[in-house]
Amino acid sequence: MSLASPWTAALIALFAWWASTGAMLVVVRWADRAGRPLTCVLATLPVGLAGAAGFWLTLEVTSVAAVYGAFFSALAVWAWLELAFLTGIVTGPHHLPARPGVPEWERFIRAWGTVAYHEMTLTAALIAMALTAQGAANRIGLWTFAILYVARISAKLNLYLGVRKVNTEFIPRPLAHLPSHFREARINWLFPTSVTGLSFAVACLLERVVLTEMAAAQVGFSLLAAVCALALLEHWFMVVRLPDEKLWRWMLPKRETLLKEGPDAVR
Q: Are 263 and 33 in contact (CB under 8 A)?
A: yes
Task: Please report the beta strands in the chain, taking only residues with DSSP state E, as ranges in sequence order.
Answer: none
Neighbour-count burial of 256, counting CB atoms closer than 10 A to its CB (0-12 exposed, 13-18 middle, 19+ buried): exposed
Contacts of 50-54 with CB under 8 Å at 24 or more apart are 50/76, 51/75, 51/76, 51/77, 51/78, 51/79, 51/80, 52/77, 54/141
Tens-binned pLDDT, residue by residue, of the chain (267 aa): 689 899 999 999 999 999 999 999 999 988 988 888 999 999 999 999 999 999 999 999 999 999 999 999 999 999 999 999 999 999 999 999 999 989 999 999 999 999 999 999 999 999 999 999 999 999 999 999 999 999 999 999 999 999 998 888 888 999 999 999 999 998 899 999 999 999 999 999 999 999 998 999 999 999 999 999 999 999 999 998 877 778 887 777 665 544 444 434 333
Nearest by Cα to 208 from 2, 16, 6:
6
pTM above 0.75, yes or no: yes
